[in-house]
Structure 1
């Protein structure tokens, strides 16, 4: 249940729907775009959850407020080996913490400054084998909490912050009313992307941006007041969702959400040349990318070009971009936040449920071809 006492609120997400050019069979006089409100968003304030957890969660005593680097002594004269076993011992957390300590303090503030590492997950889920009931939740964990605690359900370390609504059935009626003919699949896909980032624009509100930039003063259970700065460290999702977050095309020419490696270079996977390419061609949320997206959107929303028209494709195709402005870029880009870096490798979705599952199924088929007793022997061993 979504109790208001737990911070839940309900809202509509307003998206801008490009209507394109008139057709002979449709209306001849309509605006280039129209606003459409998608109802049913349930969400909670990220800042409110952080404050509530710090003040009321008994597990806060186990949170690591100061990141560190740890090493194992080498034997036989070998140099020490770095050990990275959690978010608070990672380079990403250390870099954010050190950058914060180097930055100017808030005027008159003498409180200790710390970082609260935010980790997000989202995954659209089909709720039944039959029917169309589905749910699209967004979850949040805190990287300051040890992973052994985050993995235990009795620790209540997972915080659901939003449930993304779907485009309602009235969407097509709205488009027909506006221009006289329905939306094609490409326009629907564009509007779903706009809806996803519209939800995140509501989550990354002024309160969150203020906590990101200036921090928030919170009294911890040890009765020490600290200035807490929020930082997004990871966002984990499967590939179809990653391309929405990264605002790139699904299986486009440059199909990776983190780099600009093209299709024919995938065969170099695992080679030293592949590692160099990933570094040299890393995606960055820079001014050039933003200007391309803004230019493409001007063609769509001002010149009435289709979202997949030749003119729009010519602007975005080289980097497999889409004409959607990232909510993370528009909210946090001015602070140097690069949303491509938060898209971490997801072993579950990208290997265990993908490559390895397909490989295991093929190996079992081979055992069936050899003889049924081979599969029984495999079961006995494992």
Structure 2
């Protein structure tokens, strides 16, 4: 034990990993101080990679030979008389309307910018590096409470059929978001003489994820975002690549942190201002119009409001949960956290709310389906214990299919013990035949 030097990390510097720290200003009710003069809590051992280095490594790799640099629309033609017009299909990022629109905007911008520049630079073809971000906190093992919270990237220039293959190594880890350490309580008590309230802890957790993304979206990245980086790609063609975020997929608890809104607040959706008591109208025509007309839009007014409220918290020493603060934040379910995506991309005309996309695995397959499975099991329990046992027998008798498509289902599905994400996905694929006939 004397020779034990602590945990060993495999995030080596030669692989592009950087170990650093972030500092977050800490407010306290009744203490009047500017945000710049407030005590700074320093969170150490933060690991991240510069996104430009990830882009360079990916677009210069042999796999980039199959990347799509010029977007296109995909149509389906049918000879059936009911479908006289071709149907536009959207199956990849590079044939989506968003990618095509941004590609055309970038090309126009570069033509105007290089109109009077030297010939060599203007002849370099321009292309987008379509970035698709994910983040998901997960437990490391079945024992203990150790967890990881990675941020990772895929590139939409690559076909989803290649990205889905584990052998393609298409996922690129970008950073690891740490939890707020327990020693923050000691830090707060040392500076303010009392323990932090739950509201302060919640505020610090919200600030943390924005601080990590602040490291990632540094000045170097933002310069490349505006002016591009010249790179010889894997196919031998020299291009000027412009990194663009098109999607950020996360489950709901993380998505509200990224959107700087309240979890299950009055307006719980990161995309629109539909009230919580109107969610039961989901799928109706009225709901569709409401979500379109009341979409969340980033604005200077939102930014200035958050900045003004932060001055009340720090300069005037107001409580984070005071009625005055709540009166300004609750009408939009905002939080008083400055959003790093808004600060970085608003001047480019980006509405960061549109970037947040559903996490199909966690929000639908593990969320909606898990709730449905629990409800169906309750119905079987009401019919009698024999029905539950027959359901378990049917699941046990389901044969495997393919190497990884459908695996062997557990012996006691109704117990819902030790089911991981992939287990719920397997149950989802064989669900109805094993349960519905027992009910009806």
TM-score interval w.r.t. the shorter chain? over 0.9
Q: Using a 3 Å threshold, how does the CA distance of structure 1 residues 29 and 181 change in structure 2: closer, same or farther?
A: farther
- C-alpha distance in structure 2 between counterparts of 1:350 and 1:186, whole Å: 26
CA deviation string 1:344-380 (max 9, x = no partner)? 1222122111112111222133234433364156435
1:375 aligns with 2:391: yes
**Worse-superposed segment, 184-193 or 104-113:** 104-113
Alignment RMSD (CA, Å)? 1.8
Cα pair 2:34 2:311 within 8 Å, conserved:
no
- C-alpha distance in structure 1 between counterparts of 2:161 and 2:34, whole Å: 57
1:150 aligns with 2:163: yes
Aligned pairs, number? 376
Alignment of 1:192-341 (within 5 A): 192-341=205-354
Cα pair 2:33 2:315 within 8 Å, conserved:
no
Q: Using a 3 Å threshold, how does the CA distance of structure 1 residues 51 and 29 change in structure 2: closer, same or farther?
A: closer
1:4 aligns with 2:8: no
SS of the residue aligned with 1:18? Answer: coil
Cα pair 2:34 2:314 within 8 Å, conserved:
no
TM-score of the pair, normalised by structure 1 = 0.94
- Provide the residue aligned with 1:25 in structure 2: none
SS of the residue aligned with 2:194? Answer: coil
TM-score of the pair, normalised by structure 2 = 0.82
- C-alpha distance in structure 1 between counterparts of 2:199 and 2:264, whole Å: 15
CA deviation string 1:308-356 (max 9, x = no partner)? 2111111111000000011111112111121101001222122111112
Cα pair 2:264 2:276 within 8 Å, conserved:
no
Cα pair 1:258 1:340 within 8 Å, conserved:
yes
| Structure 1 stretches of at least 4 aligned residues deviating more than 4 Å after TM superposition | 28-32
CA deviation string 1:34-82 (max 9, x = no partner)? 1111011100000011011122x21101111111111011323411011
1:69 aligns with 2:82: no
Cα pair 1:235 1:344 within 8 Å, conserved:
yes
Return the index of the structure with the highest Cα Rg: 2
- Provide the residue aligned with 1:344 in structure 2: 357
- Provide the residue aligned with 2:58 in structure 1: 53
- C-alpha distance in structure 2 between counterparts of 1:367 and 1:255, whole Å: 33
* Unaligned 5+ runs, structure 2: 1-9, 398-432, 435-440
Match of 1:17 among 22, 26, 31: 26
SS of the residue aligned with 1:243? Answer: helix
CA deviation string 1:251-291 (max 9, x = no partner)? 00000011000012112100011111111010011112112
SS of the residue aligned with 2:344? Answer: helix
Alignment of 1:2-151 (within 5 A): 2-21=11-30, 33-55=38-60, 57-77=61-81, 78-103=84-109, 104-106=112-114, 107-108=117-118, 109-110=121-122, 111-151=124-164
SS of the residue aligned with 2:248? Answer: strand
1:356 aligns with 2:362: no
SS of the residue aligned with 1:257? Answer: coil
